[in-house]
């Protein structure tokens, strides 16, 4: 990834958005040299959202499988045992 310093203000914000939307460039916003946020094409955001959904599905399946293991006590049962 190539980095280039640009000052974003109201005057050039549209040009920055055009670079991202039309040319597929990624813009990293920094504050005092530290990366704080990024402006990415909407297609990349949609891919990230799909990956998050797939990760959630994977985690759910893993949790459901773990619940089938011997020695697992359901939360509701544990609350009763502890008087919660």
CA-wise closest residue to 35 among 78, 3, 79, 76: 3
Residue 41's pLDDT is: 93
Contact call for residues 23 and 34 (beta carbons, < 8 A): no
Whole-model pTM over 0.85:
no
Q: How confident is the model at residue 8 (pLDDT cuts 50, 70, 90)?
A: confident
Residues 13 and 25 occupy one common structural domain: yes
**Residue 13 CA from chain centroid, whole number:** 24
Q: How confident is the model at residue 75 (pLDDT cuts 50, 70, 90)?
A: confident
Return the DSSP state at 37: E
Residue 52's pLDDT is: 95
Structural domain that includes position 75: 42-84
The SS3 assignment for 83 reads: coil
Residues 48 and 83 occupy one common structural domain: yes
Q: pLDDT per residue over 9-62, tens digit each?
A: 777 888 888 889 998 888 888 888 888 888 999 999 999 999 999 999 999 999
Residues 23 and 55 occupy one common structural domain: no
């Amino acid at each position: 990834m190539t980095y280039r310093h640009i000052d974003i203000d109201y005057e050039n914000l549209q040009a920055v958005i055009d670079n991202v939307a039309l040319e597929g460039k990624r813009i990293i916003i920094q504050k005092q040299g530290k990366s704080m946020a990024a402006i990415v094409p909407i297609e990349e955001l949609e891919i990230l959202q799909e990956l998050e959904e797939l990760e959630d599905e994977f985690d759910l399946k893993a949790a459901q499988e773990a619940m089938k293991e011997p020695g697992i006590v359901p939360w509701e049962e544990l609350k009763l045992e502890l008087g919660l």
